Every structure is written in C-alpha cells, then in structure tokens.
Structure 1
Amino acid sequence: MKRSYELTRAAEDGDVATVARLLGAGAAVDALGEDARTALDLAAQENHADVVRVLLGAGADAAAHAGPYHDLTPLTCAAMFGSRDAVAALLDAGVSMAAQDRIPYTPLVVAASNNHAETVALLLDRGAAVEDRAMKNRTALEWAACFGRVESVLLLLDRGAEATGTALSCAERHAQRGEEERGRYGRMAEALRAALGRDAA
C-alpha cells in the first residue's frame, strides 16, 4: 500500500525518476493513492507529460475512472484542467477522443466548457469532431456558449463550428445580466449572430 501511495504522489509532483524507480521495483501502475486516484489520473491533471508517457509505457489504464469526482477519464481530466502537454501525450499513445461507454464526456467539450483554448485548438488539430453531440445532444460550441466561455466560442467558430440558436440564446442570456457582462459576452453573441446571418439585436 505504501508503495502505491508513493507512486501517486510522485506522479502528481511530476517526479518522473521516482515514478520509473517505483514501477521498476514492482509498484502496481494502476494502484490507487490516498484519494482513490491513480498515478496516470494525477499526472494527467497536473500536466506532467513525461510521467504520463512512462505510466502509459508501463501499461496504465487510459480508460479508467479519473478526476476529482471519478467521473472522467485521464484524457478528459487533462482536458478539463487545460493540461495541454498531457493531452498531447495521451493522444500520441492512441487514446480515443470519443466518449466512453461509462463516461459520456468528451475532451473537446470539457476543454471548451472550461475555456482552455489552447487545448481546444490541439484537440481540433488532432481530429476532434467539432460537431459531435455525444454529451446531451449538444456540441462543444453550445456547451461553451452556455458556460459563457468567450474565447472557446470564438475559437470554435473560427475553426468551423456551426453556430446554432441554442448557442446564441445562451450567449444573449449572459450578455443581458448587466453592463459589465454586456461588454464581455456581447462579443460572443455578436459573433454567433454574424455566423447565423442575423442582424445585431
């Protein structure tokens, strides 16, 4: 048990040498740490790409439950925290960007919903389906708009995402909350109106 805790702590700290040493000494790669999270889960969250690569090379389960609430995968956890390098390492290893049977989130949706534009761009560059509706029949653009993620919305539109009435309604709700919100979220609503070919409201 002690060795598994050491492994998860080292992974969370980005201590690749200790991770490699512990694995070589027989630590179980998917053992749970003190907070019931694996080394891969924690390394992905903290953007320790070198540790992610070592763990994957040792056979870590890239489809296991991950994240603070155990409702993600290591890839979607990395995307949620904007851990771009870890996302790249997982994709390099062939980890799927599709929703898993038990875990419906997709990395593109969670990255966009948390406004991690660099991670969104990476996922799109790697072939993420911009119009995927795996999460409650909404696209990443719609989720980003409804969470008020201006940068993600503008990036997704620029990368070919289809503007929708749902996204526009969400953007307009944010913009109508007050003067400060109008200035920030107005850009998002204007971009969506333009994409939809509608006159400014």
Structure 2
Amino acid sequence: MVDRLARAAGDGDVAVVRRLLGSGAEVDGPVRAGRTALDLAVHAGHAETVGVLLAAGADLRQRAGEYAESTPLCLAAMCGHTAVVKVLLEAGAPTGAQGRMGYVPLVLAATTGEQGHPHIVDLLLRHGVDINRVMKDKTALEWAAGFGLVQMTHHLLARGATPTAKALSEARAGAKRSLKAAVNYALVIDALHATGVEG
C-alpha cells in the first residue's frame, strides 16, 4: 500500500491518496528507493497532495530528494514550486539550515534555475526569513553574485540584501572562471558598485 500511496502522490492523484490514507497506509512509509509520498509530491509540485499528506501527519522535517540530502521545503524551493513552498510554510516548515548538507531554502530559491526563483524568495521573506541568512559562509546575494545571476542580484538588492565586499569578490572570481559569462558578471559587479560597495 505504501508503494501505491507514493505513486499516487507523485502523480498528484489526490483522490487515491485520500483513499489509501483512509485505508491505513503509512503516510511516511518509504518506498524501495527510500523516498516517501511527501517527498515525491513535493518534487512533482503537487501542492494539494502535499497539503493532504501534511494533514495526515507527514513529517515536515523528513529527508527528501533523490539522495535524502534535502528536506521538503528545500526541495520545493530548488524546483521552483511556489504553491508547494506556500503550503509547507503555512504548515510550519523550518526555514533555517537543514538536511544533511545544511541547505538554506532562501539561498536555494535564489540560486537554482536560470535566474533563481524570485517569487519563492519573496514568499520566504514574507514569512520572516532573514535575507542575509548564511549558507556555507555566504549569503544568498553572495551566492547569486558568484553564479553571475544578474536579475537575482538586482532582486535581492532591491529587497534589502546587504551588499558586501565578499559578493564583489565572488563575482570577480566567477568572471575569471567563465569568460563566456563575462557580460553577466560585469553587470553583477556594476550593480554592486552602484550600492557603493568596494573591495
């Protein structure tokens, strides 16, 4: 029954998920690959299914992701699933460093995808997350600058991220590593210089 629950959750089949839970399926029972129904529903972006699983007692802090390196909120933030992030936050998901890798949801939202996920960044900030929270000794802005993410750099600065000499240093180091992205890094450096930061 756990395999059927996980499959239905991954498919977003809310009716089947409800029926299986009502029949006694273990909400956080892992399938052969070690992933749970909540993990698979989050990964696939099925917000309603996530809500049903949480209401049935699914653990917000469980390990998630292909290698169990993440958590439901981190996975949703990385995948860009805004509606799922909203459901998890409203259910009380933790927003600090989490999972085996010490991931910070805000940093993941700011740096995954082509230009990060600004809507998720904003949602996390509305839930009181500190924009200058650090993951592996760098803030979201410093990570974004290091990746040459022009739009996200501007977005974070507009939302009040602290411009730092470290962000500038990360952008300069990125420019040296990737000549193909030189234009992007130049724009990031310009944005940081415009704030008055030096280094």
- Same-fold call, TM cutoff 0.5: yes
Q: Give the structure 2 partner of residue 158 of structure 1.
A: 158
Residue range with higher mean Cα deviation, 115-124 or 100-109: 100-109
Residues 1:25 and 2:10 aligned together = no
1:150-187 Cα offsets, whole Å, 9 max, x none, are 32222111100001111112222334533x52222322
Shift of residue 101, structure 1, vs aligned partner? 7.6
Q: Give the structure 2 partner of residue 37 of structure 1.
A: 35
**8 A Cα contact 2:141 2:156, kept in partner:** yes
User: Match for 2:83: what amino acid?
Assistant: D
What's the secondary structure of 1:166's corresponding residue? helix
Q: Give the structure 2 partner of residue 55 of structure 1.
A: 53
C-alpha separation between the residues in 2 aligned to 1:73 and 1:197?
35
**8 A Cα contact 2:71 2:99, kept in partner:** no
**8 A Cα contact 2:148 2:184, kept in partner:** no
User: Match for 1:184: what amino acid?
Assistant: N
Q: How does 1:95-174 map to 2 (within 5 A)?
A: 95-100=93-98, 104-114=102-112, 115-133=116-134, 135-174=135-174
C-alpha separation between the residues in 2 aligned to 1:197 and 1:65?
39
**8 A Cα contact 2:80 2:120, kept in partner:** yes
Residue range with higher mean Cα deviation, 46-55 or 109-118: 109-118
**8 A Cα contact 1:120 1:152, kept in partner:** no
Shift of residue 24, structure 1, vs aligned partner? 0.7
Cα RMSD over matched residues? 1.9
User: Match for 1:167: what amino acid?
Assistant: A
Shift of residue 198, structure 1, vs aligned partner? 4.7
Unpaired runs of 5+ residues, structure 2, are none
Unpaired runs of 5+ residues, structure 1, are none
Deviating above 4 A after TM superposition, structure 1's stretches of 4 or more consecutive aligned residues are none
C-alpha separation between the residues in 2 aligned to 1:137 and 1:184?
23
C-alpha separation between the residues in 1 aligned to 2:80 and 2:175?
25
Over the matched positions of the two proteins, sequence identity in percent amounts to 47
Q: Give the structure 1 partner of residue 12 of structure 2.
A: 14
Q: Give the structure 1 partner of residue 86 of structure 2.
A: 88
1:112-135 Cα offsets, whole Å, 9 max, x none, are 1211222112111221111112x2
Shift of residue 197, structure 1, vs aligned partner? 4.2
C-alpha separation between the residues in 1 aligned to 2:147 and 2:9?
31
Per the normalisation by structure 1, the TM-score is 0.89
C-alpha separation between the residues in 1 aligned to 2:32 and 2:136?
33
Q: Give the structure 2 partner of residue 192 of structure 1.
A: 192
